Amino acid sequence: MEHDLDERTWGRRAFLGALGAGALAVVAGRPVWNAVSQPLNAATSALPDPVREALPFDGWRIYAVNPPMPTFEPASFRLRVTGLVDRPLDLTWQDVQGLPRTEQVSDFHCVTGWSVDDVRWAGFRLGPLLERAGLQPAATHLEFVSLERPYVDTLEIAQALLPDVLVADRMDGDGLSRPHGAPLRVVIPRMYGYKGVKWLTAINATDEPQVGYWEARGYDTDAWIGASNGLG
């Protein structure tokens, strides 16, 4: 299995660094993630409209459902691949760095209405990883588990193998920052951001869909951009 795309498929899109990794949204001097507990931008919706509209809110909002955000410790970090696989994997950070690498530029959309264009991701595709683990034919879904309990989400195997899906450890030329999910996050550009589990630590192959964190709260399982419920 080889699912990497080459440069031609992606086209050479401009790498817009300005709204990139460093552009964390801040309200009144405090990082938004201190106050936000759901992807409805609670921190800013509490502000009067004129104040909110004056904020420089192009770019990333940082979300965490259960702060404080997990801390990446290279010596103890593990990425586990479990469930319906012949060879369960328990990868150290060094092992992860040895996986076949890929890069892409893709747009990012949160279901609440904000987007970031031309995000430059680097990391690895799921195909080679699943091949190494010996994914069993009975497996239909992958459950992605965050170090930030209880955040999980799921993809169908075919969705996870789309050519523009990756597990990213770099963003816009730097290692993934803690707010953006260090050391690993799932990226699936054709779906809304909640499908992309940050602080990823385990991938569990199953023969039925598990219920994702936001799906349990009413959001669509298939979060195709433009075609899923969005709830508002």
Residues lying near Mo ion in the complex (CB under 5 A)? 39, 110, 193-194
- 120 binds ligand MTE, rule: CB under 6 A: no
Binding ligand MTE (rule: CB under 6 A), the pick from 44, 102, 106, 146 is 146
Q: Are 170 and 105 in contact (CB under 8 A)?
A: no
User: Between 44 and 63, how does the x/- string for binding to ligand MTE read (CB under 6 A)?
Assistant: ----------------xxxx
Kindly state the tokens that stand for 193.
Answer: 């951001």
Residue 146 contact, options Mo ion, ligand MTE, none, Cβ 5-8 Å cut-off depending on partner type: ligand MTE
Of 84 and 96, nearer to ligand MTE (C-beta) is 96
- 39 binds ligand MTE, rule: CB under 6 A: yes
- CA torsion 13-17-20-22 (nearest 10°) is 160
Distance between CA 21 and CA 171 in Å, rounded? 7
Q: How far is the CB of 186 from ligand MTE (least distance, A)?
A: 8
Which residue is closest to ligand MTE by CB? 193
- 145 binds ligand MTE, rule: CB under 6 A: no
Residue 199 contact, options ligand MTE, Mo ion, none, Cβ 5-8 Å cut-off depending on partner type: ligand MTE
Residue 219 contact, options ligand MTE, Mo ion, none, Cβ 5-8 Å cut-off depending on partner type: none
- 183 binds ligand MTE, rule: CB under 6 A: no
- 144 binds ligand MTE, rule: CB under 6 A: no
- 79 binds ligand MTE, rule: CB under 6 A: no
- Listed in sequence order, the residues at least 6 apart from 95 whose beta carbon sits closer than 8 Å to its beta carbon are 79
Binding ligand MTE (rule: CB under 6 A), the pick from 110, 129, 133, 145 is 110
Handedness of CA 169, 71, 78, 192 (dihedral sign): negative
State in Å, rounded, how far the first CA of the chain is from the last one: 39
69-72, long-range: CB < 8 A, 24+ apart: 69/33, 69/148, 69/178, 69/179, 69/199, 70/146, 70/147, 70/148, 70/178, 70/199, 71/178, 72/178, 72/182, 72/183, 72/199
* Interface contacts to ligand MTE, rule CB under 6 A: 39, 60-65, 110, 146, 148, 151, 180, 193-194, 196-199
